[in-house]
Amino acid sequence: KLHQQFEMYKEQVKKMGEESQQQQEQKGDAPTCGICHKTKFADGCGHNCSYCQTKFCARCGGRVSLRSNK
């Protein structure tokens, strides 16, 4: 039974990955915010995180606070 549950979970994860990839292809070439995945960027717009290089919009960037290591 545990093996059967694992196989079902594995198939669900695979399906979700394929659906996500299809959505990315349908959006076209316009880059989108890495946080909300809704805001599209024109050439040169958006901000990059200095830690992970994720591109984000000003709206999402204003909500994210990073904790200091000190």
3-state SS, one letter per residue, for 12-59: HHHHHHHHHHHHHHHHCCCCECCCCCCCECCCCCCEECCCCCCEECHH
Domain boundaries, the chain: 1-28, 31-65
Each residue's pLDDT tens digit, 23-56? 655 555 667 777 777 777 776 677 777 667 677 7
pLDDT of the residue at 24: 58
- Residue 4 — very low, low, confident or very high, per pLDDT cuts 50/70/90? very high
- Residue 70 — very low, low, confident or very high, per pLDDT cuts 50/70/90? low
Work out the mean pLDDT of the chain and round it to a whole number: 72
Mean pLDDT of 19-25: 64
pTM value? 0.38
